[in-house]
Amino acid sequence: MLEALPSQALFGGILIGISAALLLAFNGRIAGISGILYNLLFNPLSGAERGWRIAFLVGLVAGGYFMLPVEFELRQGYSQWLLIASGLAVGIGTRIGNGCTSGHGVCGIGLMAGRSVVATVTFMAAGIITVTILRQFIG
Amino acid sequence: MQRIIIALISSLIFGAGLVISEMVNPTKVQDFLDLFGNWDSSLAFVMGGAVAVTLVTSRFILKRKTPIFADRFYMAVKTSIDARLVLGASLFGLGWGLSGYCPGPGILNAMINPAEAVVFLPALIIGGWIGQRYAA
């Protein structure tokens, strides 16, 4: 398995930053994926409010599609229970904490929002602790 | 219509960035979070690159009174750092570590690794629904 060079990671990251900057500059919106997804699914929205969110999710998938196939080996046989627990925790957590890696980590820190800095430090720490326990003591 | 086109352009770039940077590879994400094990530092460059751009551009963007195609900037209303924020972020980090998926890469994996996405995405939506009931 080839590891992506940091330059690839850096280039991808810059693209994500540009994407967030465009959405803020033109539409005045935060490119936070969990917020966009959950507002679309669970909150009553007007047509225009729904429209750009649907467009964003469609574009997100399409943008990824154009870059396929991926170079890495697909993970197989990963625990279904871990995937379920993960989905539930990510869903509950991003809703309660009002954001995920994109909303808090990329947009919020860019705006120097205190809440986002605290959220990002917290979810990074929780992620590191989780993987450490998973790999060192369980897996 | 303008705003829909911008949302499309923005998200096309976002999706491309997630794949190019390999954020969509959950094993690599877990390797990145495995700070005390076999740490793969490369994904630090993803967030580093993204934040470098948003830190610089946000300052210029917010000098404008309004966005180019909208009547105002829709910023987060909340500014307080409270227990709910920390609890939510902790749960999110826990979930992120358990699979290596955060929401964007989780969604993109519907076409990259559908066998995992059919399990992860319904759980993500149910989790969001549960969280919504407790969110302000």
Three-class HEC string of chain A: CCCCCHHHHHHHHHHHHHHHHHHHHHHCCCCCHHHHHHHHHHCCCCHHHHHHHHHHHHHHHHHHHHCCCCCCCCCCCCCHHHHHHHHHHHHHHHHHCCCCHHHHHHHHHHCCCHHHHHHHHHHHHHHHHHHHHHHHHHC
Is B61 an interface residue toward A (CB < 8 Å)? yes
Domain total for chain A?
1
Contact A97 B15 (CB under 8 A): no
d(CA B102, CA A125): 15
pLDDT digits (tens, 9 = 90+) for B21-77: 999 999 999 999 999 999 999 999 999 999 999 999 999 999 999 999 999 999 888
pLDDT at A137: 84
Is B58 an interface residue toward A (CB < 8 Å)? yes
* pTM for this predicted structure: 0.95
Is B108 an interface residue toward A (CB < 8 Å)? yes
Residue A114: inside a domain? yes
CA of B105 vs chain A CAs: smallest distance (Å): 9
pLDDT at B76: 82
pLDDT at A21: 97
pLDDT at A139: 65
Residue A38: inside a domain? yes
Q: Is the ipTM of this complex over 0.90?
A: yes
pLDDT at B45: 95
pLDDT at A1: 41
Residue A89: inside a domain? yes
pLDDT-based confidence at A6, cuts 50/70/90? Answer: confident
Residue A1: inside a domain? no
Contact B49 A12 (CB under 8 A): yes
Domain coverage including residue A87? 6-138
- By C-alpha distance, which of B65, B100, B64 is closest to A86? B100
Is B114 an interface residue toward A (CB < 8 Å)? no
